Chain A
Amino acid sequence: MTDKGTPEFLSGYRDAKLVHGVIKDIKAQVTQSWTLMEICGGQTHAIMQYGLDQLLPEEIELVHGPGCPVCVTALELIDQALWIARQPDVIFTSFGDMLRVPGSEEDLFSVRAAGGDVRVVYSPLNAVKIAQENLDKEVVFFAIGFETTAPVNAMAVIQAEKLGLTNFSILPANVLVPPAMHAILSSPGNRIQGFLAAGHVCAVMGYWEYPPIAEQYQTPIVVTGFEPLDLVNGILQTVNLLEERRFEVQNAYSRAVTYEGNQCAQNLIKQVFQLVDRNWRGIGTIPASGLGLRETYQKFDATKRFEIGQIKTSESEICIAGQILQGLKKPSECPAFGTLCTPQNPLGAPMVSSEGACAAYYRYGRKNE
């Protein structure tokens, strides 16, 4: 995105002078080493793109969180998606990132190359439109994403119902941030001392779920946006809280986030979805960490519409995606990084996605860190 046509109250968040001012302040405040995790993969990419990791004092280590939906979508779900996409008379729709994510044997691109009708959509609402225009086909949308994407996924189901569409379904794969934070903070190898919470997840959900987490694990959490100034400001506030031993939640993205969040969007999610246990790729099953369709909307569940049966999954033996997603290892510590595993030939999902930590390290040249 260019700054052309962007008003000053937004373009100011890319002001290099202000970014350097905040970095100077971080340097002045920090008295010891701190390890912070940015949860959202979009933030990981912005940090690398603007080189913020290289401007920070060496006391601050940023580790990259699991906030990359295509990275954490379970292998069995991807294999189910591939199975559905291979069926005749199916139009399988998905966000573009998902197409190159490796399943047990192939990816959605190879299904398309073999003649499957796999289409990239910008929004699940476009998938509903495709269903309207192709009443003789089953149209399935791969409903991945975090709380940011849950409202629009819910909206797609509501719209399909309103339009009386019987040829539209979703493969429910939404996951939730707070259960993942619990999983990371309670894991024996945890190194995280402070969190930058994902700004757009909080635009929807608010941050009322976070104070108990901050208190339970003595870990400050700062809601953080995506522009370079947002990111360094989020880091500054986290460092200040850590230095003062205050295990609180602060909001450094107040232009888009309130404590309560968007109630209307939360109601939409609640209307369509219910909490389910979900398996996270590379991490394992986290209780009540996913969204499945409620009873009244289960006719839109692709796993109920198709008789998929048992699929035997097999994961790459070399890929260390799980450890990277939990912040235990950096992408450059993987023996396959940049050699056996590249964005063109990914072994694991974090090398594919525009939000994956491995793809960010590859693209922005953090190979030897």
Chain B
Amino acid sequence: MCLGIPGKILSIYEDHGTKMAKIDFGGVSQEACIEVIPDAKPGDWTIVHAGFALNKLSEEEAQETLDILREMSELAEAEDLKHNDG
């Protein structure tokens, strides 16, 4: 139920006064209501649940977390190698 799918906003339009967007989900494009992310622009990422954008998705935050985890994983590996050698 709380499934949220990340998608990239392609274009923004209005339908009966409601803010809507065409959103690309890995090659499939679908409409969603973007009423609660009023500052969203084409090219922004968002999380969509039941045809409704919940929040914007930060590319920078995503990359930063990945970089930290990658660094941690490399450190653990280096530590392993050291143990195996010694």
Contact = CB atoms under 8 A, between A and B. Distances in A.
B26 A255 contact: no
Given A6-B26, A152-B49, A200-B47, A262 B61 contact: no
Contacts of B51: 122-123, 125-126, 152
B4 A2 contact: no
Given A5-B27, A149-B50, A254-B61, A18 B70 contact: yes
Interface of B: 1-6, 16-18, 24-27, 33, 35-38, 47, 49-52, 54-55, 57-59, 61-66, 69-70, 72-74, 76-77, 80
A122 B63 CA distance: 31
B72 A204 contact: no
Q: Which one of B24, B38, B69 has the greatest number of beta carbons of chain A within 10 Å?
A: B69
Interface residues of A, number: 65
A315 B18 CA distance: 42
Contacts, number: 156
18 contacts: A1-B25, A7-B59, A18-B66, A18-B73, A20-B73, A21-B72, A21-B73, A40-B2, A42-B3, A70-B1, A97-B1, A126-B51, A155-B52, A200-B47, A201-B2, A255-B58, A261-B55, A265-B36
Interface of A: 1-7, 9-10, 12-13, 17-18, 20-22, 24-25, 28, 40-42, 67-70, 95, 97, 122-126, 144-146, 148-149, 151-152, 155, 159, 162-163, 198-201, 203-204, 226, 229, 233, 252, 254-257, 261-262, 264-265, 268, 353, 355
Contact of B50 (A20, A21, A122): A122
B5 A125 contact: no
Contacts of B33: 125, 152, 155
A55 to B, nearest CB: 14
Contact of A264 (B2, B25, B27, B38): B38
Contact of A17 (B5, B35, B49, B73): B73
A155 B19 CA distance: 11
Contact of B4 (A67, A122, A256): A256
A234 B59 CA distance: 19
Contacts of A41: 1-2
